[in-house]
Amino acid sequence: MPVLRLKDITLPLGKKTYVMGILNVTPDSFSDGGLYFDPDSAYERAVLLKQQGVDIIDVGGQSTRPGHKTVPPEEEWERIEPVLVRLKGFDIPVSVDTFYPQVAARALEYGARMINDVSGVVSADMAEVIKRYNAAWVIMHNGGIPEGQWAPLYVHNWLKEAAHLAIELGIGSECICLDPGIGFGKDVRQNHQLILNTASVKVEGFAYLLAASRKRCIKIPAGNCEFNQCDSGTVAAHTIGILGGADIIRAHDGFGGVQAARVADAIRFSDIEG
């Protein structure tokens, strides 16, 4: 049975869907920018996500909304470090959303177990950090789809190549989690195709993360609602992904994400005995 290893924690794959709760400690994230910028507010949010039943908390100090201004590594670290201090001793794993190897190393030293890297690059520097701490590494496709290509097949091939490159850099397959990059360089239809065809996008033997929460591909068909009113639409998208075999869903609304995962799992495993 394939697993995902986060340092000393092993998550079996294929028996349940895990929920990654989002904790943005940024002033400008597209959905919740500024809400948890204060370390005390961030900690309270983490406690709430834990109470809602999430399996992983993903702490991010860098906005990835369209048109965002990239902050340097020192500023990113200043945002997340006070939160990581408060989260030491949490009994659920902490992930850090960063593409800076130096920030990743500090975060893993502080007790994080997973690095959620949205760079779209399988870098030797990041691989060295992941290997040193035996952590999990989310590798995401970041970019558009060439004209005439079917998005699910194109992204599948990219993820497969990225995973094999990471293995060549010394990372075990059990430490790799692949992400199709919903909302990163793709149009709405392409994002919908990736969600609908999750089973085709996945790469056998590797964990798969679906992160569609409150993104434009949810917002637009839901009637162009405000981002923080898109949670029901997010549940719909994530449920489709779960039925296609997504191992982890990343959600702003922990309660909704956990309910979606539990109900979708009950349905998809209903024909399995025992």
CA distance 260 to 238: 7
Please identify which of the residues 215, 219, 262, 268 carries the catalytic annotation. 215
5 noted as active-site residue: no
Q: Collect all residues with Cβ–Cβ distance below 8 Å to 81 and sequence separation of at least 6.
A: 106, 110
Of 94, 93, 110, nearest to 102 by C-alpha is: 110
215 noted as active-site residue: yes
CA distance 231 to 215: 10
The count of residues in the chain is 274
CA distance 200 to 186: 17
Phi, psi of 156 (to 5 degrees): -55, -50
Please identify which of the residues 106, 186, 216, 250 carries the catalytic annotation. 250
Please report which helix (H) or strand (E) contains residue 192, including its range. Answer: helix 188-196
CA distance 195 to 264: 15
Residues serving a catalytic function are 215, 250
